[in-house]
Amino acid sequence: MTEIERIDQLRKELHAHNYNYYILNAPVISDQEFDRLMRELQDLEAKHPEHYDENSPSVRVGSDISKEFRQVEHRYPMLSLGNTYSEAEVADFYERVRKSLNEDFEICCELKFDGTSISLIYEEGKLVQAVTRGDGVRGDDVTDNVKTIHSIPLVLQGSGYPDSFEIRGEILMPWKVFEELNRERELREEPLFANPRNAASGTLKLQNSAAVASRKLDAFLYYMPGDNLPHDGHYENLQEAAKWGFKISKHMRKARTLQEIFDFINYWDTERKNLPVATDGIVLKVNSRRQQRNLGYTAKSPRWAIAYKFQAERALTRLEKVTYQVGRTGAVTPVANLAPVQLSGTVVRRASLHNADIIASLDLHMGDMVYVEKGGEIIPKITGVDLASRPAGSEKVTFITHCPECGSKLVRYEDEAAHYCTNESTCPPQIKGRIEHFISRRAMNIEGLGPETVDQFYQEGMIRDAADLYTLRASDICRLERMGEKSAENIVNGIEKSKQVPYERVLFALGIRFVGETVAKKVARAFPSIDKLESATLDDLVHVDEIGEKIAQSILRYFHDERNRTFVTRLREAGLQMETSEEDQSGRTDRLQGKSIVISGVFARHSRDDYKALIERHGGKNVGSISKKTSFILAGENMGPSKLEKAEKLNIPIINEDDFLAMIEE
């Protein structure tokens, strides 16, 4: 067998194994054997680039090449469904259909998956394009990212599928993957995703398909528009699609009476808690495509389908104790520890109480039976107390007065809801939290380091602040548990590489309170060296765009502390960038000073990120949405129709990229 023949054989085998594992849930080989075959295929493909196939199983791992998304018009508009919230509204829908059709009909009952909508185009049995819902008329081409999702077939199974067709569905992040992702983000003190829908949507828009692959998204397909389909029945067409390799829900049912619909709704209102993915309702569709055409559409939605939304799920459980967490800024967050209870597909054991005011408003007592809700948000919250079941003589929950980690007295600043531990120098969670912020991707981006490694180095006494990282040697690291020579070298190389990170990100990495990424850029532009910033007065600072007195006072407090000044000196001595480079300074102007600019569309000469950087370099402000305050829109090809309509309504100028580059003289 030639190497080319072996490539073809491996591709066929791996497609089949993917189908067995992700669709049938019945793997026939071990994970190790699958990985071995995949490595063999990747090695052979690298040797034979002339035999490239865009739908090879190897694309599942994704690429780290960043690509802008271009907008694509849908073959058929992706309309939204009308929502109902009661059995009476479902009955009204059923009655409207009955009167309009005046003949027998079936309703297909389906689970309403809570993810992000996708349209998939197949030509001759191969996936050629994947497009998000967008505004319903056109969406983003996310084909490269979708190809990393194992439950979406790249090449179809069996036979009988049309030469060209579209199938739509929902891309999801399973509960298990979602919770692990949020645990990792919590350790890095990054904002948590509110729910799996937001996480799936955000993941699908990542510019790095390798990062998308790591998120382990899933998908269910539920609708095929068009005329060249095997059957008149929607349900029957989806059963055919399952034979072609698509992941179709096994829980679809056809109903012939209103009572059968209610039975389906009532069953899944409870049973959905046991599903591995999020659902938020039931979708009801007239099954016959002929009858669908007869019923037609309103301006916004089909008359032949409707969504029934479940009520926000609530559970009753016991408050066992309240514990307190300390973040990198010293903020102390109370956490309710609960008797385990099943809620929206997961077992809930904890809920954030946010601050002392929330505890007081709930009038919590130890041992209370409390109502817990998710209501579309993954972070559980306590919404009430069952006072009738309160234990006699139970102790009222009162906010602590001293730090649970270091014992320092807590303070509450004016106009703030949180309490703070002010012991920045020796309170362990604050020290480790500041280091974790320093190494994070948007700050110094030190590869090879994470919260667990930081904790290990701290426990071993190797670091007490981020400046200590620059004194670490590979020989010190590799002697630690779970650390080999290769890992140690990677960490040291990552630390060395961070010395090239530009000044504005170093400024963000310092962790000065209220100085986020955007503020750090503004400050770095106004004070292009750390020395100039350190010697700035309150008046100097408040005259910087978007820097109010609150941020200015925080910067002054930071540099007034001798420990912080020493820390900055040590970072400077380690070789970090403490001033804006001459090249960067020389390219800055005030040509866009005071202008708020919206970017929309796909560009030919620079990427969107490049244009955002140019806007900031020339004194402008990037904004995400159009308003009366928008100065102009920098528009490329395929500008969204909703943005165009709003711009015309508000009389906002639209500038193309050539005119924009001329405006800033680039």
DSSP code string of 322-336: EEEEE-TT-EEEEEE
Place of tokens 């308003």: 627
Q: Which residues of 282-302 are buried (b: 16+ CB within 10 A; e: fewer)?
A: bbbbbbbbebbeebeeeeeeb
Quote the percentage of the chain above a pLDDT of 70: 93
Write down the architecture of domain 3-61 according to CATH: Orthogonal Bundle (1.10)
In 174-268, the DSSP E strands lie at 218-223, 253-255
| Residue 333 binned pLDDT confidence (cut-offs 50, 70, 90) | very high
Confidence of residue 58 (pLDDT cuts 50, 70, 90): confident
Tokens at 221, concatenated: 């397909």
The CATH T-level fold of domain 596-663 is Rossmann fold (3.40.50)
Q: pLDDT class for 66, splitting at 50, 70, 90?
A: very low
pLDDT tens-digit series, residues 420-459:
999 988 999 999 999 999 999 889 999 889 888 999 999 9
pLDDT at 3: 87
Asked if 96 contacts 152 with a C-beta cutoff of 8 angstroms, the reply is no
- Read off the DSSP letter of residue 579: B
Model confidence over 511-529: pLDDT tens digits? Answer: 998 898 888 988 998 999 9
Question: Which H or E run contains 271?
Answer: helix 258-271
**CA pair distance 173, 201, nearest whole angstrom:** 9
Nearest residue to 525 via CA among 616, 592, 622: 616
Active site residues: 112
**CATH code of the domain occupying 312-422:** 2.40.50.140
Phi and psi of 458, rounded to 5°? Answer: -65, -45
**What's the rounded Cα separation, in Å, for the pair 580 and 575?**
14
Q: CB 532: neighbour CB atoms within 10 A?
A: 12
CA pair distance 497, 444, nearest whole angstrom:
9
Average pLDDT on 633-660 reads 84
Distances from the Cα of 165 to the Cα of 75, 119, 344, 348, 374, angstroms: 10, 10, 35, 42, 38
**C-alpha span between 666 and 663 (Å, rounded):** 8
Per-chain mean pLDDT for the chain: 88
Residue with tokens 């938020």: 280
Kind plus residue range of the DSSP H or E element containing 62: none
| Percent of the chain surpassing pLDDT 90 | 51
**Residue boundaries of the structural domains of the chain:** 3-61, 73-308, 312-422, 428-500, 503-586, 596-663
The residue type at 576: L
Q: Which CATH class is domain 428-500?
A: mainly alpha
Q: Which two tokens stand for residue 409?
A: 């007295």
- C-alpha 98/C-alpha 295 separation (Å) is 10
Angle between helices 451-459 and 428-439 (to 10 degrees): 130
CATH class, 503-586 region: mainly alpha
The reply to whether domains 428-500 and 503-586 share a CATH topology is: yes
Q: How far apart (Å, rounded) are the C-alpha atoms in residues 580 and 149?
A: 41
CATH number belonging to domain 73-308:
3.30.470.30
Between CA 512 and CA 329 the distance in angstroms is 9
Rounded distance, CA 67 to CA 59, Å? 15
d(CA 89, CA 261) in angstroms, rounded, equals: 12
Q: What is the pLDDT of residues 158-213, one digit of tens each?
A: 889 999 999 999 999 998 898 888 877 766 656 677 678 888 888 888 877 877 88
